Chains A and B, each alone.
Chain A
Amino acid sequence: MNIYKNKYNVDQIKENHKIIAEFKYDIKKLSLGYSNKTLHINLGKSKISSKEVSQEMKDKFTGGRGFNLKLLWDAVNENTKWDSPENEIVIAAGPMSGITQYPGTGKSIVCGISPLTQAPVDSNVGGYFGPYLKFSGWDAIELQGISKKDVIVYINGDEGLIQIIEAPKEDVNSHLISEQMCDIFAENEMDMKSIATVSAGQGAENSFFGCLNFSFYDRRRKVARLKQAGRGGLGTLFRHKKVKAVVCKFSSLNFNNNEVDNLEMIKEVGKNYHRELYEEDDKQCDMRHVGTAHLVEIMDDYDLLPTHNYKFGSDSKTPKISSPIWREMFTQGIPDGCWYGCSMQCAKCVDGYVLRTGPYKGDTVSVDGPEYETAAAFGANMGIFDPHFIVEANFYCDTYAIDTISFGTTMAFIMECYENNIINKEITGGYDLSFGNGEEALNMLHLMASGVGFGKTIGLGIRRLKKLFVDKYNADANFLNDIGMECKGMEYSEYMTKESLAMQGGYGLALKGAQHDEAWLIFMDMVNNQIPTFEDKAEALHYFPMFRTWFGLQGLCKLPWNDVEPADNAETEEPAKVPSHVQNYVDIFNSITGRKIDKNEMILQSERVYNFQRVFNLRMGFGTRTSDKIPYRSAGPVTNEEYLSREDRYDKQLQEKWNWNPKGKSVDERKNKLRQFREDAYQQLCDAVYKRRGWDNNGVPTINKMKELKMDLPGVIEVLKKYGQ
C-alpha cells in the first residue's frame, strides 16, 4: 500500500461526478476469442455506439493492432493531424488475449496518429484493461473527438453499461488516479482486481512523448500498479482529448472467458511451458528475479549499452546499475505477472520507496520497474550511474506519463548539446545539464511535467528540438542530425547499433520509428555472424518483423517467446526462431479460434497488417526511403572522440572489410571513409529489404504484393497509385 502525506478525498471526487452520456448493452458470451463488436466513443459529441466485426475484418486484420489500424484508417483522412478531432486512440486486445493458461497473454495494443511522429503508431502494453474490455463485450474501443471538459469513460462489463462522466476532481497523475478509480468503482478491497484503468498524467499534457498507463491491481501489495504503452506520444493524445481515465470493470474472470475451441490443448501447452520456465529461467535470463534488467551487464559486455548519447557502448561504472543491484532492490518471492498466469513475472517492483523530490516528496510508494530500457536510458545514456536516481525518475516518468525511453534518449541528446555549447545555462534557465547530473535531470523532469521553462522545451522531443536549436541558436544542422537519435520522429530505444548493420535496419526500417520491437538482430548479426550477406539480413528483416507483428495482432507479449528457451533449442535447425515456442503459439491460436493455421499462415496474417500499416504511413505523407533514413551515430562514429575510443576496431574494418589502408591517415580521413562505407552499406541493406518485402525501390509496397495478400482494398490502391504504382 502506498502511503501519502496528503491523502485524497474519495467522497469529494465522487460528489463532483456528472454523467453526461450513457449506453446500455446486452452482455453476451465471447465466441472463439472474439466478442465480435467494437465500441466507439465520440468525446466531442458525447455519443457512444457499437459496431459489428465482420468475418472479412477478421480474415484481413485478425485482431489487436490489425483491428486498430483498420478502425483508425476509417476514422481519419490524409490531412488529419495528431490534434485533429477525428484522430483516435484505439485500444484492442486480440483473439488470444486473456487466456490464463499461457504466460504473456494479457496485452493490449494502442494505436493513433502520433503527436511525436505525425504518422500511425502502435504501442503494446500489459495490465488488465485489454482482456477485461474484450470480456466486457468489446474487441476494440475507439476514442474520437475532443471533450470540452475532463472526463472518465467507464465501461461496466458486469452490468453492460457505459458512461461518459464529467470528472473535475480526480488527480491527473497516474499512480493516484488509478488508485482512485479502484476506490470509486470497486465494491470493496477484494473487488479492486476487477478494475482496470487507462490514464495519462500531467507530463503527457506538456510533452509530445506522453505515454499511457494501464493499471493492474496487485492484491498482495494493495497497489494499482502501472504498465506503459510508452512509444509515440499516445498519452499526449489522450490528454489532448481531455480524457482523465478509461476504466473497465469486469469481475467474472475465469479459466475460459474466451470460450475457446479446445481448452484441453491450451492446458497441455501451458502446463509444459510453465514447467520449462521453472526449469530453465534461473539458468538463462533470470526474468523471474530481475526482469529485463538482466540485460544491463550483458549489453555492457558486448559494447552495446548506450552511454553518453550512444557515443560508447560500455562504461566502467555499469556494475552500479546492473542486475545484482536490481535483484536486491526488487521485492522477491511474489508473483509479478501483469496478467493472470504469467509465470515469467518480469514486472518487478521496488517497494517501500520514499520519494526524495517533486510534488510527492516524502510519500512511500511502490515503483514499477525499472526495466532494461529505463535503467539503460537513465543510467548509462545520461551517464547517471545511480540506481536511486533511476528509481526516482522511473516513478515520476510513470505517474506523469512520460515515456522513459523518449525522455532518456532526449535528455542524453540535450546533455551532449550542452557539453558542445549548442545550449548553455542562459538557455536552460541556469541548469547545468552535463552528462551525469542526476539532480538537474530530475529538475528537468518536474519542469517538463508542469509545462514550465526548459523542461517543457525538452518535451518537444529530438526532432522538434533539432529544428529549434538550428532556427533559434544557429546550431549546425548536420551535427544535430548525426547525433539526434531519432528516426521518423521517434527517439531510439536503448541499444547500440554501430556494429550491426542488420540492427540499424531493425530500427530504421521499423514502421513506426526507432523501436526495437520489430527486430532485435544484434546477436544473430554481430555476435554469431549468422546473417552475413545483404540477402541474409533482408530475410531476417522480413521474417522477424512479421513474426513479431503477430504478437500485436493477438494480444501477446513477446518476452515468453525467446526470453526463455527450451533446453534443446540450440540443437534445432533455426534456434533464433525458437521453433517449439512458435509451435506453441500456432497450437494455442488454433485451439482458441478453431482454425487450422500453420507457421506460414501466421506470417501471412502479419504481412497483411504490416503492409497495410506501411500504406497507411504513405497515406499520411510518410513511409518512403526518405523516412527510413537513420542518424549517422546509429551507423558509426560521428566525432573523433568516438572514433578514437574504438580506433583499432575501425582501422581493422577499413583494411579488412573494405580494403582501404588506414595507415598514415588522419582521424578525420579515416572517420569520413568509414562513414562513406557504412552509409553505403545501409542503403544497400534498404535495397535488399525492400525487395524481400515486395516493395519497390522507394520502399512502397507494390499493387501486386497487396493483391497477393488480398489487401488490395480500394483505399489502399488509391494511395499506392499516388506513389507511382
Chain B
Amino acid sequence: MKVLVWDKEKCIGCRTCEKVCSQTWFKEENRDKSRIKITETENGFESNFCNQCGECILVCPVEALTRNAKGIVRLNDKTCVGCLSCVGFCPSQSMFIAKTEPKPFKCISCGVCVKNCPSGALALQELPEPLEKVFYRRHF
C-alpha cells in the first residue's frame, strides 16, 4: 500500500500541503480541515497524518471504516454516524474533526500534497499492509 511519508529535514514549514489538502477535499483553505497538519515545535517541524495502521477500523461501530483494495483505510461518509470513537482512539491522533463538519476525516494517500510540496518533503511510499488485528473466532 502507498503511505504518505514526510521528511523532517526537507520540510520548510510553508504549509502548502495543508492548503491544498483542505482545498481539495473541502473547497476552502482552512488548516482545521486539512488531513495533514504541520506544527512548529521547539525541535523543529512535526507532522501529523494517517499512517494507515487501521486501528480505527476496530473501533468503528458501523463498519464505516474499511481498508480498500489498495490497502488504504477509507471512511464511508454515508455509513458514518459521527460518533467520533475513531478520533479518540487513533494512536497518532491523525483522525481529524473540525467545526461545522459533523464527521471525521483522514489522509487517504491521494498524493495532492506530494505534488504541491515545494521542498520535496512529502512522498508516497510503498509499504506492506499491517497484519489484520481482528482475532475473534470466525466460526460463522
* B136 and A101 contact, CB distance less than 8 A: no
Q: Say yes or no: is A702 at the interface (Cβ < 8 Å to chain B).
A: no
Residues of B within 8 A of A193 (CB): 62
Interface set, chain B 82-119, CB cutoff 8 A to A: 82-85, 87-89, 93, 97, 99-100, 102-103
Contact, CB under 8 Å: B99 / A264 = yes
Contact A343-B99, Cβ < 8 Å, known A219-B62, A333-B133, A335-B60: no
| Pair A337/B140 contact, Cβ less than 8 Å | no
- The residue on B at minimum CB distance from A279 is B88
| Cβ contacts under 8 Å, B88 to chain A | 270-278, 343
Contact of A267 with B140 at beta-carbon distance under 8 Å, contacts A101-B82, A333-B135, A335-B85 already known:
no
* Residue in B103, B134, B136 whose Cβ sees the most chain A Cβ within 10 Å: B136
Beta-carbon contact of B102 and A274 below 8 Å:
no
Is B84 within 8 A of A267, CB to CB? yes
B residues near A273, Cβ cutoff 8 Å: 88
Number of A-B contacts (CB under 8 A): 96
Say which residue of A253, A263, A333 sits within 8 Å of B81 (CB atoms).
A253
Alpha-carbon gap, A274 to B83, bound state (A): 10
Q: How far is the CB of B17 from chain A (nearest CB, A)?
A: 23
A-B pairs, 8 with minimum CB distance: A274-B88, A255-B82, A341-B83, A331-B136, A1-B140, A352-B139, A275-B88, A100-B83
> Among the listed A255, A332, A333, A343, which residue makes an inter-chain contact with B85, where contact means beta carbons less than 8 Å apart?
A343
Tell me if A332 and B84 are in contact (CB < 8 A): no
* B97–A271 touching, CB < 8 Å: yes
User: Which of B59, B100, B135 has the most chain A CB atoms closer than 10 A to its own CB?
Assistant: B59
Q: Which residue of B lies closest to A257 (CB)?
A: B81
**CB of A196, distance to nearest CB on chain B (Å):** 15
Given A278-B89, A333-B134, A335-B61: A341 and B84 interface contact (C-beta under 8 Å): yes
Q: How far is the CA of A197 from the CA of B60 in the complex (A)?
A: 23
Nearest B-chain residue to A103, judged by Cβ = B85
User: Are the CB atoms of B61 and A255 closer together than 8 Å?
Assistant: no
**A274 and B84: CB pair below 8 A?**
yes
Q: Closest CB-CB distance, B53 to chain A, in whole Å?
A: 14
Which listed residue (A253, A272, A334) contacts B136, Cβ 8 A? Answer: A334
Interface size on B, residues (CB 8 A): 28
- Determine how close the nearest CB of chain A comes to the CB of B33; give it in whole angstroms: 14
Is B135 touching A267 in the complex (CB atoms < 8 A)? no
Distance, CA A277 to CA B84, complexed state (A): 12
User: Which chain A residues have a beta carbon within 8 Å of chain B's beta carbons?
Assistant: 1, 3, 100-101, 193, 219-222, 253-256, 263-264, 267, 270-278, 331-335, 337, 340-343, 351-352, 364
Query: A residues within 8 A CB of B60?
Result: 335
Ordered by A's residue number, 27 sampled pairs between the chains whose C-beta atoms are within 8 Å are: A1-B140, A100-B81, A101-B82, A193-B62, A254-B82, A255-B83, A255-B102, A256-B82, A256-B102, A263-B102, A264-B100, A267-B84, A267-B97, A272-B88, A274-B84, A274-B88, A275-B89, A277-B89, A335-B60, A335-B85, A340-B81, A342-B61, A343-B83, A343-B85, A351-B137, A352-B140, A364-B139
Q: Could you tell me the distance in whole angstroms from the C-beta of B115 to the nearest C-beta in chain A?
A: 31
Q: Are A341 and B85 closer than 8 Å at their CB atoms?
A: yes
Q: Indicate if the CB atoms of A333 and B136 lie closer than 8 Å.
A: yes
Q: How far is the CA of A277 from the CA of B133 in the complex (A)?
A: 20
Most chain B CB within 10 A, of A254, A264, A278, A351, is at A278
Q: How far is the CB of B97 from chain A (nearest CB, A)?
A: 6
**With a CB–CB cut-off of 8 A, which chain B residues contact A267?**
82, 84, 97, 102
Q: Tell me, rounded to whole Å, the shortest Cβ–Cβ distance linking A344 to chain B.
A: 10
Given contact pairs A101-B84, A255-B103, A341 touches B61 in the complex (Cβ within 8 A)? yes
A340 touches B83 (CB 8 A): yes
| Other A-B pairs beyond A101-B83, A274-B85, 8, CB < 8 Å | A219-B63, A255-B103, A264-B99, A270-B88, A272-B88, A332-B136, A333-B136, A352-B140
Task: Name the CB-closest residue of B to A253.
Answer: B81
Tell whether, in the assembled complex, residue A340 and residue B61 are in contact, meaning their CB atoms are under 8 Å apart.
Answer: yes
The distance in angstroms between the C-alpha atoms of A1 and B82, with both chains bound, is: 27
Complex Cα–Cα for A273 and B84 (A): 10
In the complex, which of the residues B81, B133, B134 contacts A341, with contact meaning CB atoms closer than 8 Å?
Answer: B81
- The 0/1 profile, CB within 8 Å of A marked 1, for residues 51-94 of chain B is 00000001111110000000000000000111111011100010
A332 to B61, CA, bound (A): 14
- Provide the residues of chain A in CB contact with B59, threshold 8 Å: 335, 343
Question: Chain A residue with minimal CB distance to B90?
Answer: A278
Which of A219, A274, A337 has the most CB atoms of chain B within a 10 A radius of its CB?
Answer: A274
Most buried by A among B58, B61, B103, B136: B61
In the complex, the answer to whether A220 meets B84 with C-beta atoms within 8 Å is no
CA A1 – CA B100 in complex, angstroms? Answer: 39
A264 CA / B136 CA spacing, docked (Å): 36
CB distance from A702 to the nearest CB of B (A): 45
Contact check, B85 vs A331: say whether CB atoms are below 8 A apart: no
In B10-28, the 8 Å CB interface with A consists of none
Chain A positions within 8 Å of B83 at CB level: 100-101, 255, 270, 340-341, 343
Cα distance A274–B58 in the bound complex, in angstroms: 14
The CA-CA distance from A6 to B82 in the complex, in Å, is 40
Bound together, the chains give a CA A427 to CA B84 distance in angstroms of 57
CB-nearest residue of chain B relative to A223?
B140
Measured CB to CB, the nearest residue on chain A to B78 is: A254
**If the complex has contacts A267-B97, A274-B89, are A254 and B62 also in contact, measured as CB distance less than 8 A?**
no
Q: Are A334 and B85 in contact (CB under 8 A)?
A: no
CB of B92, distance to nearest CB on chain A (Å): 12
Shortest beta-carbon distance, A651 to chain B, in Å?
A: 51
Which chain A residue shows the least CB distance to B104?
A271
Q: What's the least CB distance linking B63 to chain A, in Å? A: 6
Instruction: Tell me the complex Cα distance, A417–B80, Å.
Output: 55
B97:A255 contact, CB within 8 angstroms: no
Residues of A within 8 A of B102 (CB): 255-256, 263, 267
A residues less than 8 Å from B84 (CB atoms):
101, 267, 270-271, 274, 341
Residues of A contacting B82 in the complex (Cβ-Cβ under 8 angstroms)? 100-101, 254-256, 267
**How far is A343 from B84 in the complex, measured between Cα atoms in Å?**
9
Measured CB to CB, the closest approach of chain A to B118, in angstroms, equals 33
Return chain B residues, CB-CB under 8 Å to A253: 81
A351 and B93 alpha carbons, distance in the complex (Å): 32
Contact in complex: B85, A221 (CB < 8 Å):
no
Please give the distance in Å from A5's CB to the nearest CB on chain B.
15
- The residue among B83, B133, B139, B140 with the most chain A CB atoms within 10 A of its own CB is B83
Least Cβ distance of A271 to chain B in Å?
Answer: 5
Minimum C-beta distance from B83 to chain A (A): 3
A333 close to B137 (CB less than 8 A): no
Of the candidates B62, B99, B135, which one forms a contact with A340 in the assembled complex, judged by CB atoms under 8 Å apart? B62
- How many Å from the CB of B94 to the closest CB on chain A? 13
B98 → chain A closest CB, angstroms: 9
Interface centre among B58, B63, B84, B89 (most CB of A within 10 A): B84
CA distance A267 to B82 in the complex (A): 9
CA separation between A351 and B138, bound complex, in Å? 9
Do A255 and B133 have beta carbons less than 8 Å apart? no
The smallest beta-carbon distance between A88 and chain B, in angstroms, is 32
List chain B residues, Cβ under 8 A from A263: 102
Complex CA gap A139/B80 in Å reads 25
B99 to chain A: closest residue by CB:
A264
Say which residue of A256, A331, A341 sits within 8 Å of B137 (CB atoms): A331
The chain A residue with its CB closest to the CB of B63 is A219
For the complex formed, measure the closest distance between the CB of B37 and the CB atoms of chain A, giving whole angstroms.
Answer: 15
